[in-house]
Chains A and B, each alone.
Chain A
Amino acid sequence: MTQTLGDEGVATGDAAPAEAIAPGSTASRGTRVVGLLALAAWGLLLLYGLVISPNDVLQEESVRLFYIHVPGATVGMLAFAFTAFGSAMYLWRRTAFWDLAAGASAEIGVVFLTLGLIAGGLWGEPTWGEYWVWDARGTSSALAVVLYLGYLAVRRIPSAPEVRRKRSAIAGLIVFIDVPIVHFSVEWWNTVHQPATISRLDPTIEGLMLFAYFLGMVAFSLTYWWLVIHRFRVGWLQEQVDERSLSDAIDLRRAESDGSSTEVTS
């Protein structure tokens, strides 16, 4: 398996040497390896999830949505935890690195968790007859998505870089503190109103189905890291562009005023 990956890696390396040299590319040898591993994992997930693993006794074909639903939601939540970690690290170290890492992780987390929720809804329709049930996990996940959209909106508020980073870091921590309280309260609310919540994942899952689920986790985790690294680099380049465009604008303005002043004197 490593042999084929190595070959593929060389192949892409040949295909895009100019891209690697060109400034502004967010790819590197490391991201290519992670990306190819993710692709391989997705290939295996498709193979095992759709072809090799058996139908569920009760849920039949729709059980296959679990291989997307659970990893998407799990990796999304872990991404939010990483955002909190990055926020705390920013407040400690005060480096742009941790600010950008926290922001990149939150963006990917929102996408993955939303994907997990959509897959859950598609699974719920044939199984429960409804796209949405007010169970604790789904409800608090949806609220977490909204909370992190708020966090991302805070990140986009234009301010001086240090102010913006610090504000984002504090927001990242506050939101992360809130999520467990929301989850707990929704769970309690839920137990009062719907005593029999159906467990979403059959705990006796085993064999090929467990392996397909495991592949889903691997595929989503690798894709997460691949996207986060790229997003991080895009964010870093954006900051460079902002800085450069400001200094360019100042230079331009200065040149203009020099030009006009010479005109006046002459």
Chain B
Amino acid sequence: MFRDALLVLNKDLRVEARSRIALNQILPFALLVLFLFAFALDPSRGVLERATAGLFWLAVLFCVVLGVGRAFALESGDGVIDALRLSGLDPAGLFLGKAGALFVQLVALELVLTLGVVVFYGAALHSVALLLVAGLLATAGLAAAGTLYGALAAGLRVRETLLPLLFLPAVVPVLIGATRAYESALADQSGEGWPWCNLLAVFAAVYVGTGVLAFGPLMEET
């Protein structure tokens, strides 16, 4: 299972390294969102500073929707799905590989976004350990949930409209937990932020577990 996962992960990352869709389109979009938030919320009144954590994770959520769409667009053309099914890869490995590739790309994106909120919103990174742990757990949950809902909507003509409707309400717990954890980390009160990591860990565990179990049946016949 893990060997298959590594194969798929490498494949997806190699495709990205050569096509650079995420780098050239999704990453600029994420930075654009930071600017749009600044236009919507007047930067001079301190609203941006107070809302930085939430806006950061909202920008990430929008990018996950795009990233998942991209991850499954890779598999939708030229009978790739059939080829994957014939390849004998373990579906659980396939899920972990796709989610893993998404995870890696999201972490890279978040690093750039973090730099963005430091530069543009004047955020101060007080508790780096909490930022790291909460960020990684939240990203794991988002990648797993995104891959699962992406598979549910994969190969369908309505994918672009259906995925946000399925995915965004489902990841509300991640938005809440990660925002609270980041808020306290940015305000240098990390004691209040650590408990939220439990919620993020439970969410990630539930979705990784569900994905490992459900990906096989989802890939068959679709």
A and B from one assembly? yes
Q: Is the CB of A167 within 8 A of B222?
A: yes
Nearest-neighbour CB distance to chain B for A155, whole angstroms, equals 11
Q: Is the CB of A189 within 8 A of B169?
A: no
- B 146-182 binary contact with A (CB < 8 Å = 1; else 0): 0011001100101000100110011011001100100
- A 169-208 binary contact with B (CB < 8 Å = 1; else 0): 0110111011001101110110010000000000000000
Q: Is the CB of B169 within 8 A of A146?
A: yes
Contact A153/B169 with A181-B202, A188-B199, A192-B180 known, Cβ cut-off 8 Å: no
Q: Is the CB of A154 within 8 A of B162?
A: yes
Interface presence of A15 (CB below 8 A): no
Q: Is the CB of B214 within 8 A of A185?
A: no
B163-222 with Cβ < 8 A to chain A: 165-166, 169-170, 172-173, 176-177, 180, 199, 202-203, 206, 210, 214, 217-218, 220-222
Which residues of chain B are near A189, meaning CB under 8 Å? 176, 180
Interface presence of A157 (CB below 8 A): yes
Say which residue of B166, B177, B202, B221 sits within 8 Å of A166 (CB atoms).
B221
Say which residue of A154, A160, A184, A185 sits within 8 Å of B166 (CB atoms).
A154
Q: Number of B interface residues at 8 Å Cβ cutoff, please give it.
A: 27
Residue of B nearest to A175 (CB): B170
Interface presence of A115 (CB below 8 A): no
Q: Is the CB of A181 within 8 A of B206?
A: yes
Residues of A within 8 A of B (CB): 91, 143, 146-147, 149-150, 153-154, 157, 159-160, 162-163, 166-167, 170-171, 173-175, 177-178, 181-182, 184-186, 188-189, 192
**What are 20 A-B contacts with C-beta separation under 8 Å?**
A147-B169, A147-B170, A150-B165, A150-B166, A153-B158, A153-B162, A154-B153, A154-B162, A163-B221, A163-B222, A166-B217, A166-B220, A170-B152, A174-B149, A174-B170, A181-B202, A182-B169, A182-B170, A186-B176, A192-B180
